[in-house]
Structure 1
Amino acid sequence: MRKILWVVMLALLAWCGWWWLASAGLRGGVEAWFDDRAAEGWQADLGTVEGGGFPLTLRAGLRDIAVADPDAGLAVETAALDIRAPAWWPGDVTVQLDDGPILLASPLGRSTLTMQGGTMALQLHPGTALELEALGWTAGAWQVSDASGVQMSADALTLTMTQTEGATYDLVARADTFAPGDATRAALRLPDSIPAAFDSLQMQATVTFDTAWDRRALDQARPQPRRIDLHLAEARWGDLRLNLSAALDVDQAGVPTGTVAIQAENWRAMLDVAQTAGILPPQLRGQAEGILNALAGASGNAETLDVELTLDGGAVRLGFIPIAPAPRLIIR
């Protein structure tokens, strides 16, 4: 009996020692990452790092965070961020976002994100590279606003990225009851006849990158897409329906080659929205409508557009006719 008690005591002491080392390592790793970013010329401000979670959880509670990457022109400020992991495997990480305002800045401008119950869950492969196995981001009600007002909002958000093999990942995104805010509707001059919220907004894709996502994606270079299979991108908004699918190869310069299939119901109403918003100049409305009307008629239904575009040689083509430059698909 005494031997059993000694074994139990030694096991408890060993576990306490492991927890202390792992907890200190988590907090030290967070602080070292901020120090390394500051040494590279980033803004990397961190107020305090709190520990806790004994005996089964490792925790690092970050406070007063401000991070800015000058090369990408991206910046984030938040009052709190809570990182947790099971003590037996710190590679399964849960990050709890702050329910308060999160300030975002990009080349497009400054905005504020508020999100209820925002949680990111990361599963990492064992090893020093910390290669990503799966990433999930879920949240309740959220909205993005700027100085002009609410830009967009939704009742829920789901984003997942799951490794299938090597540098290939399945991506799923869905925003429930997604709605352009009053500021966006005013800027686009959307009529009251268009519903406040989308009936459906979702995306499913498989993407192969030039390298797997791991710790180098944060402090060195972002993995770049080399193959994109867009299984579904769907937007349903009242009487407007838009579905996209694509199969694209992407070269090292970010130029895509392949096909994009587009299905659009009530496409004339989409032209109305584009013209009202100022995206489609009135002088081009007749020309655009004539071309789309011919394409829709060829598909057998004048109200439904069903076409396939080809991306080749840096151009988007409809048949053999170039209609626009191909976008560069580069992750900054």
Structure 2
Amino acid sequence: MKRLLAVIVIAAALWSGYWYIAQRGARAGIESWFDARRAEGWQAEYKELATQGFPNRIDTTLTDPVLADPESGLAWTAPMFKLFALSYQPNHIIAVWPETQVLSTPTARYEISSADMRASLVMQPAPQLPLERANLISDALAIEGPGGTTTMEGLQIAILRQEGGESYHLGLNADGYAPPLPRGLTLRTGGTLPQKLSSLRADLELGFDKPIDLTALSEARPQPRRIKVTLAEAKWGQLELALAGTLDIDDLGRPKGQITIKARNWRDMLELARQMDLLPAEWLNPVEQALGLAAQLNGNTRTLDLPLTFNRTTISLGPIPIGPAPIIRLR
């Protein structure tokens, strides 16, 4: 009995020492990451850093964190941010966001509120912790920006790294998605839009020039090299839009490939895009003319089923050029 008690005491002491070392390592890692960002010119601050969770977890809480990258112009602030990990599995992290947070871009400021936003991240046990898989969920999400407030009853995003490369499978589903509607919105086909979309989902495969890991924030962003859209779908009342296709992107961010567009009541979609400032004004007339001609050729003036072709520098809808191609790069 004495020997058993001695073994238990020694094991407990060893585990306590291990937890203390792991906790100190986690804390030092976060502190050094913030120090490195400040050395690069970021605003990277927090009011307090606390770790607890003995004996099986390492729970870290950052109070009043602020991150601002001067190069991209992105900034994020929140009253707190929490990270949870099992002490014996530190490469699996649960991240928890507060009920309110603020995201700023070079052009806008967004106040985000949610009932429960959290993510599970599993990284490979390598120095730069390349992402293996992640899931993000949120309930009762509201995003208030310059154009109004967008709400969702629920948001689910999942990403999984594909074997043998820098490709990731991405799935997204937004339940009860309700964007802000312009006042006095009128549809060309008559009627009104319901407040919420009945479906908003996407199934993609994204290829990058390097894995998504810690250097994505501290150094160069992974740049997209291939976007394969298995299906992206939105249904909003009488409006239905579906996309599928593949784009290859060169080192300059210029896309080449084809995305097939299926759109029902496309004129109402254009009118909605015009009133919500979703399309550059100079695009509206040429796009509508091209779509009208294409719809006539298909024999159905309300429904489109056409390839959108990207040729590095230009975009064509069917055989009709409609404008310059965008540059696809992550800042």
TM-score (structure 1 length as normaliser): 0.91
Which amino acid in the other structure matches residue 156 of structure 2? Answer: T
Matched residue, 1:208: 207
Is structure 2 residue 307 aligned with structure 1 residue 308?
yes
Matched residue, 1:243: 242
Matched residue, 1:227: 226
Matched residue, 2:103: 104
Matched residue, 2:154: 156
Q: Deviations over 1:5-58 (max 9, x none)?
A: 333322222111111111111122111111111111111111101111111110
Matched residue, 2:28: 28
Which moves more between the two structures, 68-77 or 312-321? Answer: 312-321
Matched residue, 1:175: 174
In 2, Cα distance between the equivalents of 1:102 and 1:217?
Answer: 22
In 2, Cα distance between the equivalents of 1:276 and 1:149?
Answer: 11
Residues 45 and 65 in structure 1, CA contact (< 8 A), matched pair in contact too: yes
Residues 185 and 275 in structure 2, CA contact (< 8 A), matched pair in contact too: yes
Matched residue, 1:92: 92
Q: How much does 1:2 deviate?
A: 3.8
Matched residue, 1:19: 19
In 1, Cα distance between the equivalents of 2:255 and 2:170?
Answer: 19
- Corresponding pairs, count: 325
Residues 275 and 282 in structure 1, CA contact (< 8 A), matched pair in contact too: no
Instruction: Provide the alpha-carbon RMSD of the alignment.
Output: 2.2
Q: How much does 1:301 deviate?
A: 3.0
Q: Deviations over 1:143-165 (max 9, x none)?
A: 1114x674211111111111112
Q: How much does 1:274 deviate?
A: 3.7
Matched residue, 1:122: 121
In 1, Cα distance between the equivalents of 2:124 and 2:253?
Answer: 28
Residues 294 and 318 in structure 2, CA contact (< 8 A), matched pair in contact too: no
Q: How much does 1:196 deviate?
A: 0.9
Structure 1 runs, 4 residues or longer, greater than 6 Å off: 280-284
In 2, Cα distance between the equivalents of 1:170 and 1:300?
Answer: 36
In 2, Cα distance between the equivalents of 1:310 and 1:233?
Answer: 17
SS in structure 1 of the partner of residue 308 of structure 2: strand
Matched residue, 1:329: 328
> What does 1:225-304 correspond to in 2, within 5 Å?
225-277=224-276, 289-304=288-303
Q: How much does 1:275 deviate?
A: 4.5
Which moves more between the two structures, 198-207 or 287-296? Answer: 287-296
SS in structure 1 of the partner of residue 71 of structure 2: coil
Structure 2: gaps (5+ residues): none
Which amino acid in the other structure matches residue 44 of structure 1? Answer: A
